[in-house]
Amino acid sequence: MLRFFTAGESHGEALVSNISGLPAGIVITETCIDRELWRRQQGFGRGGRMKIERDHARILSGVRHGRSIGSPIAMLIENRDWQNWNESLPVGEGDPEKHKPVKSPRPGHADLAGALKYNLPEARYILERASARETTARVAAGAVAKQVLAALDIEVLSHVIQVGGARLSRPVGFEELRTLAAKNEVLLNCADEESERRMKAEVDAVLRNGDTVGGVFEVVAHNVPPGLGTYANWDERLDAKLAAAVMSIQAVKAVEIGDGVLGATSHGSAAQDEIGYAGGEDAAGKLRSKFTEFTRAGNHAGGLEGGISNGCDIVVRGHLKPISTLRRPLGSIDFATREPVKAAYERSDVCAVPAAGVVGEAMVALTLAAAALEKFGGDSLVELRRNYEGYCEQLRTY
């Protein structure tokens, strides 16, 4: 069973990412993981922290001579900012004078609910773990999951389709997402230049006003075979697992699969993807996976029907609320005096949609890798591939 968990705080010494359940023989390099970490750190509208951090994942266990060995993989990502915080956030008792309390909870953050829950007098420890810095460790685990998927020829990529009121104006194919992911300069991770210009203008406008902006990222998984997940039990549905995984990303407040939102206002005749059969012929104008001769007229379903992958690209969107920390802070209450004050401000992003998209890729990759390993099993790459190819043959001769 593929499982992962993360540990670490925003201004602690390091983040830790632990992933287990991989077969032996999967190619895993620090370079691959660091590339994903770099992608998470990019994006127009990110705060000052990204200038300090240049994340690097050090693999501590589970990989030898460049391949997984079947045991848990532990990775360590140091926080470069730790040098500025080791006196105020020591593991030992330390000097209380050096402590940096968060004296007034920020609306939209876990600050107040967390302080009440953990019975703490202020919100420093809450912020430290609730912060999206934690997503760095998820992206490291996701990079490993992507390597498992690569062994099955499955790719997972993302792009930004909306920032504030500026929406992507045209359809974007998977090849364009590959080109975007290969770029060494990331602005808003949007494939269409004109749309990206409008998105950038939205960020510039809020930046001028001390405000923030949200948006929508889209994750696309390509070459997923039909048959991952099942309707057999509610908690085994792949759509439900993907929704939970993407909803767990900080600031994501809605998740959409395929044209889910549009579907609610469409008629049934327009919202489904009609089925055809190519039978060895050219299926021009129809969607066709590499797995079967069945074709689809479109992909409103986002690659999932009845909680099962159907062979079309899986399309999952994460809708982000605007960042909660504002340079012009909102009203709050001082924890100690209970007097009205402005909410605490700490260096912050004004738009995190491109970075959240990379985190979305990681969460989708982890969910799909778990589903694929559940279906195909195998303790080694050879066994996994053999099971996968046997299933592909079954689909071909269906």
213 binds ligand FMN (CB under 6 A): no
The yes or no reply on residue 132 touching ligand FMN (CB under 6 A) is yes
Map tokens 């007229």 to a residue.
297
Residue 276 makes contact with ligand FMN by CB under 6 A:
no
Q: CA 363 to CA 242: how far, in whole Å?
A: 8
Amino acid present at 371: A
- CA atoms lying within 13 Å on the CB side of residue 78: 9
Residue 248 or 394 having the CB closest to ligand FMN = 248
Question: Which residue of 348, 374, 380, 395 would you call a contact of ligand FMN, by CB under 6 A?
Answer: 348
Q: What CA–CA distance (Å, rounded) separates 45 from 351?
A: 5
Asked if 324 interacts with ligand FMN (CB under 6 A), we say yes
Q: Which amino acid is at 69?
A: I
The nearer residue to ligand FMN, 321 or 375, going by C-beta atoms, is 321
Rounded least distance, CB 127 to ligand FMN, Å: 8
The verdict on 325 binding ligand FMN (CB under 6 A) reads yes
Q: For residue 312, what are the contacts with CB-CB under 8 A and spacing of at least 6?
A: 273, 287, 289, 296, 299, 301, 302, 303
Q: Which helix (H) or strand (E) holds 163?
A: strand 155-163
Q: Which CB sits closer to ligand FMN, 21 or 108?
A: 108
Name residues contacting ligand FMN, limited to 90-129 (CB under 6 A): 108-110
CA distance 189 to 39: 10
Work out how close the CB of 40 gets to ligand FMN at its nearest, in angstroms, rounded to a whole number.
7
| Candidate ranges 7-15, 249-257, 286-294, 334-342; the one touching ligand FMN (CB under 6 A) | 249-257
| 41 lies in the binding site for ligand FMN (CB under 6 A) | no
Element (H, E) at 384: helix 381-396
Q: What is the smallest separation between the CB atom of 41 and ligand FMN, expressed in angstroms? A: 9
Within 8 A by CB and 6+ apart from 379, the residues are 23, 24, 70
Residues from 43 through 62 that contact ligand FMN (CB under 6 A): 47
Where along the sequence are the contacts to ligand FMN (CB under 6 A)?
A: 47, 108-110, 130-132, 135, 249-251, 321, 323-325, 348-349, 352, 355-356, 359
